[in-house]
Structure 1
């Protein structure tokens, strides 16, 4: 039986219209700085980014009386609003038919290591409140007839804490939060790109003084680049991850994040070695993750060479048709590449095979109108000849249809409908895809309230490096909501106020001079050249397969590129190109930071884990294929000690500095007690406003 979902329901869950932005409040005045008439805007807090995490922070601050504004490069154009998968996951405490042990959930969130225990617990205990508030705002999470939230298992999830509104879950989250922000009259400044954080003070007393931006709406003859100043003592960096860092990426186009912006301001980063890679459609068309039911339908995966010939390449890796088909299915809930899953003919051998095909210049497709052909000498594909976990899942789902497209239509018709919206009919034609970079697990280092090492600067969402090595699928959406609320509570408790009229930070003029010195029309360096160099280097030398020599050489090249940018600046023609010039300067710096951390990690004996296989001729692990051992992909074992620590990255002058810090731990056996602990809540001592952790 195929589930017949009315077209209007499919439309509502795939074509999610976003609210219209309100008019922008005008600037409060002008200041003549570095020979430019600069518009001045003032706010108690500036949130950088209009995705789900930034909107949550802004909404919760506004509710607490904070004078908050949102600036966005492109409202509703980031990863929250434009990315997803077959049934995009929200990972929260399981309340469908049983309570959840928050400490057990915290252990699952941080199970891959390199994650602070307090952060994992904050995310776990805050998830119930977060989900309830989203439902209150109108997020249509599915329920059973008795009111329990429908759940399923996702990546690195042992008990099934995942739920979903369908492929547009995060876009629906953005929609309901944006509607609430507009209802609360939170000001939005769109087409506004943060380009420099201004600071005052020295050492431990250094703090935020404002933000330089470039705004299309403020371009004038006397200010051709549209440079403007937001004066504020508090900022929240919520601009997402560095999607432009890789050529092979499933991020929407134009996602730059804020890692370079933060580094330039002396903000410390952490865990830059940790990312997520997985199969998805290329960003040149419609970038989308191919997890969940796309692969659980078990389509035929094949490659095409330059002569147009098809290759059933997975048959060279798996020993039987049953083993091949079962591991294609497992990519549904083992979607991210993980080095150890290349062993014992596991599911990440699929990723490795696809990576090898594309590296050889072949294009890879999945065809939902064909079942996987048999491996040479093997039995043909059959739903009765699948591994037990796969057979049981498909049986419970009622997915006994003959062809993959019919199984997909039965299990998740939205998955087909979504691609149709972008003129790709996977019911009629094969779908081209690759192994892509999808998420940065590292980022800006924060404490359990979202504070950075720079006073007045907070980070939430993918911008914050809180996710460790192997976060469960959907935990990032939860983390952004939980920490968006935490940050708002902390800022509200600190009494963020709008700066006095007339105040202009002393650092503003020097910041503008520095900005303009990096944008030189006569520079030999173009944005296109920098983009090409950074993206090719990262995809080819810092993807799922790495080795010490290649990473070291990539780092040398990245340092040389940044030295050239410092010496010659970046060329631009139109004002819009100047914005991209600043962003690519930041991306080049972020690339050097990632490669520095990765080189440091490998040099200290770092092994293979969530993001990457560290290949080494002396490595302890050797993946096997049906044709024999894959010696080129022999890789190192992960060091257990490295799970207990994190690599910290900071910029000092022009040099990247690296250090190690241990994961923060929860106090063992500590439990709250109402009468003892209530006064700390009443008096605000829980916010630790006079110090950091």
Structure 2
């Protein structure tokens, strides 16, 4: 490690060809692949090595999506690509790459020791997941992604890759590159080094490439299922000029809040009772019956939430996502708390299986659970799902306790722009995993885990083939890094000076205010008015941030939050701007989001002719489906910091089609011998 004099300070500088930011499954995969491809000059950094969604999030049977590798059912790379592409607003080259590399990425994990189930002949069996016409899904249980992280991490550590924790991303260092920008490095704040001590808390990483595996901007929302410690760092990328793509497309779904965990799959299929209480836990009532008066329909819709998850606005009018809206009404519009009760059956003490839809009846009959209470059915079908909550902190015993839930931010399908190699518009910057905007509006369940492995592999292939040159020399790097470091030093001095002068530390207050605003105004139910209200407020906070933030110089956490909050405010400003532009562009309800529209309809009372009256629900729930009107275009955003909150501009372009098949073997073989496949 070197020390350079930059902006009047002696700053440690660590140099590598590639810096991987983030220690989740995508980040570790990128590092492992780089070493395999002969590019071992890699450093990994993270704010918390053992935090993040890959290691700490999941569901009762967390899914990995891949090409079919068992049975007699036909499948092909092109067919899988078409399934991904059909989700709308997804680029076809990304879809084709995710399909083509899915088997390779999956078998890489198998070879590292991830115990995906296979039959005695070695076929990797699968099941059908949401938005999946085949049976491409597989799982190792609730901790599929954690197991992936652990096996990939072990590989990376055996390879001798340096991994640094306690590094808060502050800003990306860039340099001119023709008419655009290129990566020169990264500035991080060492949160394990006291700010008022003798050692420098700043670290500059000088590199040719950044693989950005920071996850989505999870810290934007208060009501979220992302684990504690999963924040994201998209704001720094936007500040550096990396474009956004499909930023409006968030997924929201039912999840427990203490602890945070998705309540999909078996938790819904055993048909728990939904109850709400006042803030103090009193006035308990079963609220679904207010809108769903038919006993059999209520049971069947709850059952369907198990695999029609997360919220899908196409299923909100007369399908299972009506339940998400009713939960949202209780928690957000009525200010109540919602719980799942596994101790008692919905509506009646005894379950009446004859009232179930044929689909629900057949499934539960095959599982042998047409009896008892929801928790008895859960323990019979999936004992680990029951034990999970007993093993968590806070401890919840579903046999004796209620489980608090809400409609939570769960995944960002959009993100930072990527091409077919997961390369962004900034040369040398590769967003992978949830940070990269590879998905469209809809995606099959488990496609995100595959996308992270494929994107990391593609980025590593490109780097190993095309971007092996050395980083900037000392003088050039000092020139590139000086404005970034000087701005960080000035912000820190202003924030800590304000606290020294007597202003209270307000970093926690600003963080909570931003998150609560986003959940209230830009969550699963939003409108043009609520988006603009939030945008005005966030813009005001961001513009005044250098003059308003106050941080205790003696608190590493407080100084850390100075930059965390700036990152979240930047992300929120860019995302809200994209939402406002989406509505102005004629965008309507799609994916996992309801955009309130006074000209639209409300959810309906039931199925079929004569049962199509609108429910008596709040006007916020009136909506018009997008109907695929914008499926063939992609919204890209560009952020420029500057006066006030900065400027966000937009480009709407046709999505890239699935590349045509031109795979005559002799031609491909000749080109591959000459160029490899990176071209």
Aligned-pair CA distance for 1:362: 1.3
RMSD: 2.0
Over 3 Å counting, the alpha-carbon distance change for 1:276 and 1:223 in structure 2 is farther
Over 3 Å counting, the alpha-carbon distance change for 1:661 and 1:223 in structure 2 is farther
- Cα shift readout 1:448-501 (whole Å, capped 9, x = no counterpart): 101000011111000001111111111000100011111111111125255477
- Cα shift readout 1:274-301 (whole Å, capped 9, x = no counterpart): 011000011xx32100000011111111
Over 3 Å counting, the alpha-carbon distance change for 1:629 and 1:363 in structure 2 is closer
* SS of corresponding position for 2:631: helix
Equivalent residue, structure 2, for 1:79? 53
* SS of corresponding position for 2:172: strand
1:687 is aligned to 2:678? yes
- Rounded to whole Å, the distance in 2 between the matches of 1:305 and 1:625 is 26
TM alignment of 1:470-481, pairs within 5 A: 470-481=442-453
Equivalent residue, structure 2, for 1:39? 12
TM-score by length of 2: 0.92
Give yes or no for contact 1:647–1:660 (8 Å, CA) kept in 2. yes
Give yes or no for contact 2:253–2:310 (8 Å, CA) kept in 1. yes
Equivalent residue, structure 1, for 2:262? 289
Match among 187, 195, 210 for residue 212 of structure 1: 187
* SS of corresponding position for 2:630: helix
Structure 1 gaps, min length 5? 1-27, 689-693
Equivalent residue, structure 1, for 2:339? 365
Match among 441, 447, 467 for residue 469 of structure 1: 441
Aligned-pair CA distance for 1:146: 3.2
- Rounded to whole Å, the distance in 2 between the matches of 1:245 and 1:333 is 27
When structure 1 is superposed on structure 2, of 167-176 and 400-409 the one drifting more is: 400-409
Equivalent residue, structure 2, for 1:19? none
TM alignment of 1:47-196, pairs within 5 A: 47-66=20-39, 67-98=41-72, 99-196=74-171
Match among 351, 371, 384 for residue 354 of structure 2: 384
TM alignment of 1:348-427, pairs within 5 A: 348-359=321-332, 360-374=334-348, 381-422=351-392, 423-427=395-399
Give yes or no for contact 2:170–2:236 (8 Å, CA) kept in 1. yes
1:628 is aligned to 2:615? yes
Equivalent residue, structure 2, for 1:251? 226
Over 3 Å counting, the alpha-carbon distance change for 1:450 and 1:310 in structure 2 is same
Aligned length: 652
* SS of corresponding position for 1:687: coil
Give yes or no for contact 2:95–2:658 (8 Å, CA) kept in 1. no
Equivalent residue, structure 2, for 1:676? 667
Equivalent residue, structure 2, for 1:612? 593
When structure 1 is superposed on structure 2, of 482-491 and 89-98 the one drifting more is: 89-98
Aligned-pair CA distance for 1:150: 3.1
Equivalent residue, structure 1, for 2:288? 314
Give yes or no for contact 2:193–2:556 (8 Å, CA) kept in 1. no
Give yes or no for contact 1:38–1:228 (8 Å, CA) kept in 2. yes
Equivalent residue, structure 2, for 1:432? 404
1:492 is aligned to 2:464? yes
Equivalent residue, structure 1, for 2:485? 512
Over 3 Å counting, the alpha-carbon distance change for 1:195 and 1:679 in structure 2 is farther
Aligned-pair CA distance for 1:358: 0.7
- Rounded to whole Å, the distance in 1 between the matches of 2:114 and 2:372 is 35
* SS of corresponding position for 1:41: strand
- Cα shift readout 1:230-288 (whole Å, capped 9, x = no counterpart): 11011100011111111101011222212101011011011110011000011xx3210
* SS of corresponding position for 2:204: strand
Match among 631, 639, 653 for residue 661 of structure 1: 653
Aligned-pair CA distance for 1:220: 7.3
Over 3 Å counting, the alpha-carbon distance change for 1:144 and 1:287 in structure 2 is same
Equivalent residue, structure 1, for 2:610? none
Over 3 Å counting, the alpha-carbon distance change for 1:671 and 1:579 in structure 2 is same
Give yes or no for contact 1:36–1:222 (8 Å, CA) kept in 2. no
1:580 is aligned to 2:561? yes
- Rounded to whole Å, the distance in 2 between the matches of 1:616 and 1:383 is 38
